[in-house]
Amino acid sequence: MSLKLFRRSLWVYHLNSGGCNGCDIEVLNIFTPYHDVERLGIKLVASPRHADVIVFTGPITRETLPKAIRAFFAVPEPKAVVAVGSCACGGGIWYDSYAVIGGIEAFYRILEKYYKVRLPPTVYVPGCPPKPEAIIYGVAVLRGVLKQKQRKTYFLEKEVPTLTRDFIVNLEKYMKQGGEISIGKR
Amino acid sequence: MKASRIEIFKEALKTGVVTKKYPFEPIEVPEGFRGKPSIDTEKCIGCGACVSVCPPNALSIEVDAKRGVKRIMLFLGRCIFCGRCQEVCPTEAIKLSREFELSSLNSKDLYQVVELKMAKCKICGRYYATVRQILFTARNVPKDQRPLLLLCDECRSKVSAKYISYARW
């Protein structure tokens, strides 16, 4: 899913959707001279109507949900979403709280159910808070400049020794003979 | 004191460029940085210590009774990189690396799934623990009591109660 939606500079609208302010500071950090993303054309704008990208930082609390929906619809198409921080990605430590919607995915479920909208491309930036470089990397992945490194990994244990009375009593002897029995090597 | 513009310009020239060229050049992460946690599939015994200690429940564990498999799932999207799983792991299987470039366009890419095979109880035939966990505990148990590890919790308590009553009478 490479993004060729945006040919020119990305204008970013930053929305704190109930976060603790940690991610907000990191988002503002990438506009300082040290990381200076304005050299890449990324600019922070004050109104969602000017923006291409909307940045969510926070687990979308019940109080911010209507505001988040209004801001989301105010961004003109084509748009993209950056979910910064663990809270926005999956709810963080408040994922099952009564006062919290639970991350951008739960937010999308609400949008799909009640508004029936086409969901924009989204980049998830985990971290609590993520490094400023991690946010820059996320935007680079969104633009298709850099490749995504993170992949789902799946492991299934293939062979296990059959547990018999003799085997478990003389475990040390068998381990010397067989050698490779993986039981949590220290 | 008010600095003139020329003085400011001189100062700026002295300082030079501080901006990092990050997305085009790699950066160095400080030592002790807590980055992406990952489970070493060779060492993990599926005891679930990390699951019970994880504050945001980014780690979860479930038993698939049909396939006889214990599934440990790590969801990076909820992880807060506190490192408590690393502290508590008895085999040092889960460790935090210094990797921080975890962004993904699909939240399913943020999962790590480890499935470990389980052993059946010799009496009731129920799946009760992973084979690796039994072998790991067997090394700390005296030889005459090891066969009890082949039984599930309930059967083990029944059998050991029987032994105790024999010893009394």
* Contact between chains at B149 and A131 (C-beta distance less than 8 A): no
Min mean pLDDT across A6-15, A100-109, A164-173, B122-131 is at A164-173
3-state secondary structure of B71: strand
In order of start, what are the domains of chain A with their CATH numbers?
11-143 (3.40.50.12280)
Assess whether pLDDT exceeds 80 at residue B166.
no
Sign of CA dihedral B88, B92, B98, B100: negative
Instruction: Give the per-residue pLDDT at A82.
Output: 93
Q: How far is the C-alpha of B46 from the C-alpha of B133, rounded, in Å? A: 7
Quick check: is B28 in a domain? Answer: no
Considering only CB atoms, A184 lies closest to which of B20, B55, B93, namely B93
**Domain assignment present for B4:** no
- The answer as to whether B16 is a domain residue is no
Contacts of residue B159, Cβ cutoff 8 Å, sequence gap at least 6: B123, B148, B151
Q: Which pLDDT does position A185 carry in this prediction?
A: 45
| Residue A184 pLDDT greater than 50, yes or no | no
Q: Which residue has the higher pLDDT, A39 or B169?
A: A39
- Residue B135 domain-assigned (yes or no): yes
A1 band by pLDDT with thresholds 50, 70 and 90 = very low
Say yes or no for a CB contact (<8 Å) between A86 and B112.
Answer: no
The tens digit of pLDDT for each residue in B145-161 reads 888 888 888 988 888 88
pLDDT at B42: 86
Q: Tally C-beta pairs within 8 A across A and B.
A: 182
Cβ–Cβ gap A123/B105 under 8 Å = yes
User: Is the residue at B15 inside a domain?
Assistant: no
Using an 8 Å CB-CB cutoff, list chain B residues near A91: 56, 78
Is the confidence at residue B31, as pLDDT, over 60?
Answer: yes
So what's the ipTM on this one? 0.84
Q: Say if B121 falls within a structural domain.
A: yes
Q: Cβ distance B49 to B136 under 8 Å?
A: no
pLDDT tens, residue by residue, B59-112: 999 999 898 899 999 999 899 999 999 999 998 899 999 988 899 999 899 999
B17 confidence band (pLDDT: 50, 70, 90):
confident
- Which residues share a beta bridge with B72? B61, B114
In a domain, B95, yes or no: yes
- Using a cut of 0.90, tell me whether the model's pTM lies above it: no
Query: What is the tally of structural domains in chain B?
Result: 1
CATH code of the domain containing B37:
3.30.70.20
- Residue A118 host element (H or E): none
pLDDT in tens, A106-151: 999 999 999 988 899 999 999 988 999 999 999 999 888 888 888 9
Question: Does residue B13 sit within a domain?
Answer: no
What are the tens digits of pLDDT across the range A42-70?
999 999 999 999 999 989 999 999 999 99
Strand arrangement of the beta sheet that strand A43-45 belongs to: A43-45, A11-16, A53-57, A80-84, A122-125
- A85-100 pLDDT, tens digit per residue, is 999 998 888 888 899 9
Chain A residues with CB-CB distance to B100 below 8 A = 127, 130-131, 133-134, 137
Tell me: pLDDT of A160 over 90: no
Residue ranges of B 50-109 with Cβ closer than 8 A to chain A: 55-58, 69, 75-82, 90-93, 100-109
Residues from chain A contacting residue B42 (CB–CB below 8 Å): 182, 185
CA separation (Å) from B128 to B7, B47, B63, B145? Answer: 75, 11, 9, 18
CB A80 within 8 A of CB A123: yes
Which residues form the domain of B80? Answer: 33-168
Is A40 in CB contact (< 8 Å) with chain B? yes
Q: What is the pLDDT of residue A2?
A: 45
